[in-house]
Amino acid sequence: MASMFSSSEISKSATTLFSAYASFAGSMMLVRSMANELIPHQLRSYLFSTFRYFFTPLSPNLTLTFDERYGMSKNQVYEAAEIYLSTKISPKTERLKVSKTRKQKHFTIALEKGETVVDLFEDVKLTWRFLCTEGQTQKSHSEERRVFELSFNKKHKDKVIDFYLPYVLFKAEEIKNQDKMIRLYSKQCPFIDFEDDGRKNGGSWGSIILEHPATFDTLAMDPDLKKMIIDDLERFLKRKEYYKKVGRAWKRGYLLFGPPGTGKSSLVAAMANYLKFDIYDLRLSSVRSDAELRRDLLSTTNRSILLIEDIDCSSEVLERPIEKKYYKQEEPPAKSGFTRHQLTLSGILNCIDGLWSSCGDERIIVFTTNYKERLDPALLRPGRMDMHIHMSYCTTHGFRLLASNYLGIDSSKYNPFFGEIDGLLKSTEASPAEVAEELMKSEDANAALQGLVNFLKRKRDEGNETKNKATDDSEVSSSIKRLNA
């Protein structure tokens, strides 16, 4: 069969094609050169991105991001994802963060940055990725930004948002409650490790595991008062909808007042152990301004106790001048004598009972003081301090509980020391801490009780001497006044 095309025709066609390509390539180079000279760089970038947008195929996936913080508050979805994903680690994961405290039963596992986890929810494939980036704060300090990314097919968006994310929140809360370790938080303490939920700049909280053994069973308190506190806590936990209905923030305020050593701090620890609430120990002396106080309170979590101890000792804090090294510009003092960047009583009240107090749920605020009469009346009104709890000196019931705790003595049985100790406690002001200290001095029950009797007698005699001296001084003063008259 004869060939349809001769070799000369094929060669001619190839030459023509090559010539046309060379001419086209040269024209494109000329056009590109003219475009570079005539079209500004910004316009060229815009045209190129527009061209790429129209000719790049659309991705079928959607990605949601969850930052660690939402404004000044913590992002609940981020926290839930961190807990939930620790149970979804696959064998393909290459890097993990592992930690464990002395009291934890299990290791805590978390993703390292850049790692991914694949989850399956009702036949929907979901890919989680943990990212960390460096950013700049307003004060030009370097700050790490931590984000979880969740990618899935776009057609499942409604299912993921309406059902999967609520499921993650629910499971995270369930996991957290299984091995709940109560933490004690303190602001900017150099001896406390900063956890992942703390920051090393303004408003940061460091935390440790709270290992205080106090419970309501071991507190040397009047049984009726103890029951009243427990019932009030239980009622508070069950009234979320009630607080919402009446238009009040879901919080409860307690004022614990009484002499030193009467168990105020132990009662706070017992409340935390009973409720499984973390404690945020806020020292007003470490807070420089109302704005900083708001940041600190907003960075606390729900289901927590905010503890402000010795509030009567903070009057100087509210009036002290702010050092200029903390701020670039210092405004002139206002008529009231306060500066704009100062911690004020008004700022404290607004955070515990104003608009800012509603930024969180299931919060308990506890003030402690040795001298209730020194407090500003504005701190004591209902809505700020709902319950005023007097922590009294040791009572006969408190002593019996301490004797049972420290010496293993059954208070229902007769003991020759109990009658004398009961009489001394009624006429002597001794704190539960002082009684407990005496009971710890000997492992022999009789020796310890005898030592307590001797201690109470000395304390009684010292008290009588002080009263007699005060009476004599008063009589002398009266005599001098009569003579002068």
What was the pLDDT predicted at 191? 44
What was the pLDDT predicted at 299? 83
CA distances, 58 to each of 52, 65, 106 (Å): 11, 19, 45
What residue type is 60 in one-letter code? P
CB 401 within 8 A of CB 439: no
What was the pLDDT predicted at 112? 83
Residue 377 has pLDDT above 80, yes or no: yes
Question: Exposed e or buried b for every residue in 263-277, given b needs 16+ CB within 10 A?
Answer: bbbbbbbbbbbbbeb
Candidate from 136-150, 209-223, 290-304 with smallest mean pLDDT: 136-150
Q: What is the CA angle 304-307-309, rounded to 5? A: 170
The mean per-residue pLDDT over the stretch 230-235 comes to 96
Please give the structure tokens belonging to residue 271.
């409340």
What was the pLDDT predicted at 57? 63
What was the pLDDT predicted at 156? 93
Q: Which helix (H) or strand (E) holds 307?
A: strand 304-308
Residue 139 lies in a domain: yes
Residues 236 and 376 in one domain: yes
Residues 401 and 383 in one domain: no
What was the pLDDT predicted at 13? 67
The β-bridge relationship of strands 183-187 and 142-153 is: unpaired
pTM (predicted TM-score): 0.65
Give bridge partners of residue 151 from the DSSP assignment.
63, 127
- Of 121, 156, 181, the one marking the end of a domain is 181
Q: What is the CA angle 238-244-248, rounded to 5? A: 100
Question: Exposed e or buried b for every residue in 228-247, given b needs 16+ CB within 10 A?
Answer: ebeeebeebeeeeeebeeee
The mean per-residue pLDDT over the stretch 462-480 comes to 68
Residue 31 has pLDDT above 80, yes or no: no
Residues 375 and 431 in one domain: no
Please give the structure tokens belonging to residue 484.
């002068």
Residue 18 lies in a domain: no
How many Cβ atoms are within 10 Å of 144's Cβ, its own excluded?
12
DSSP 192: S
Helix, strand or coil for residue 135? strand
What was the pLDDT predicted at 129? 92
What was the pLDDT predicted at 224? 92
What was the pLDDT predicted at 328? 42
Q: Which helix (H) or strand (E) holds 368?
A: strand 363-369
Share of the chain above pLDDT 90, in %: 36
Residues 432 and 291 in one domain: no
Residues 257 and 208 in one domain: yes
Residue 433 has pLDDT above 70, yes or no: yes
Distance in angstroms (rounded) separating the CA atoms of residues 288 and 285:
8
What was the pLDDT predicted at 197? 42
Better-scored residue on pLDDT, 443 or 327: 443
Q: What is the pLDDT of residues 44-79, one digit of tens each?
A: 666 666 666 555 566 788 999 999 888 777 888 998
What was the pLDDT predicted at 336? 47
Residues 355 and 405 in one domain: no
Better-scored residue on pLDDT, 212 or 39: 212
Residue 403 has pLDDT above 50, yes or no: yes
Residue 320 has pLDDT above 50, yes or no: no
Q: Where are the alpha helices (DSSP H) in 191-307?
A: 223-237, 240-246, 264-275, 290-298
Band (332; pLDDT cuts 50, 70, 90)? very low
- Of 133, 159, 181, the one marking the end of a domain is 181
What was the pLDDT predicted at 268? 96
Residues 88 and 188 in one domain: no
Residues 443 and 345 in one domain: no
- Of 348, 367, 390, the one marking the end of a domain is 390
Residue 322 has pLDDT above 90, yes or no: no
Residues 299 and 377 in one domain: yes
Residue 37 lies in a domain: no
Domain count, the chain: 3
Q: What is the pLDDT of residues 164-214, one digit of tens each?
A: 999 999 999 888 777 678 889 987 554 444 444 433 333 468 888 888 889
What was the pLDDT predicted at 335? 44
The mean per-residue pLDDT over the stretch 299-328 comes to 67
Q: Is 8 exposed, middle or buried (0-12, 13-18, 19+ CB in 10 A)?
A: exposed
CB 185 within 8 A of CB 280: yes
State the chain's mean pLDDT as an integer. 80
Give the range of the structural domain holding residue 342, as residue numbers without chain letter: 184-326+338-390
